[in-house]
Amino acid sequence: MNMKNYRAELTGVFGDPVDGNPTGVAMEAAFAEKGLNYRYLTLKVLPQDLEDAMKALRVLHMRGINLTMPHKIKVIPLLDELSEAAGIIGAVNTVALLEDGRLFGENTDGKGFVQALVNKGLSVADKRITLLGAGGAAKAIAVECALAGAASITIVNRTLERAKELAATLKEHTKVEVACEKWEAGHRILEQTDILINGTSIGLHPQGDQKPDIDYTGITSRMVVVDVVFNPVDTHFLKEAKKQGATVVNGLGMLACQAALNFKLWTGVEPSLSVMEETLGREFA
């Protein structure tokens, strides 16, 4: 007689603040669609409690966890192994508890970005990229674009020193050509840009009426313009790019692709990306 299994496999996210994190709804929908007895817990973990929380991950035999602010960097000394990208980026957003008990750290932010473009029939290989911002998301995107074969990346940031720090990381670990520009009001985008990326949180709800301060007339119809902001889905940044005839890609695809990568890392199963995208889309409709 087969015993019934009443224990669900646990995954989730550690963060503070974390109440507004929407990942759980997409994960739960994808688990249900695949018939997996998994649960995704949205857990408030204060900075001083992170080490205890990571110990609890092992104690509770959780399959893995996402990390959001302020834990993405501070978690690294608590892990046993990092992926190549996570090591270069210096931040982790996903941890998997391996069969041998080791904790493996990955960063799926940039991978999700690249995959979202691939799903649209687009590639970063041999492309000239202009990246607005040099923070956490921008750094992950820059590293993955470089590893995926981008020809060049121009980093535009208000604090030039921070842009130079990211440039130095890219030069040390990848073969991509890198340049830095100080972000001034009405910044003019380089005409040779193939892909323009807003790697900042400008325009994120509840500041959905804002957009990056650039000269939008510099965007051309041959450019692909991508926003990492997913709420609202159709940002003012993308609306302005559409007016110039550019191909636009919203942040929802990146968010769903990142979640899908986490899903497979924890379960070994390929999730339904459409289920994840549709579920997240309803959250931000």
Residue 243 designated active-site = no
Catalytic residue among 44, 55, 72, 164: 72
CA pair distance 62, 266, nearest whole angstrom = 9
Matching residue, tokens 């998994």: 38
273-283 and 251-267 helices, crossing angle to 10°: 130
Instruction: Report the DSSP beta bridge partners of residue 248.
Output: 225
Which pair of tokens denotes residue 180? 């830095």
Q: Which residues are catalytic?
A: 72
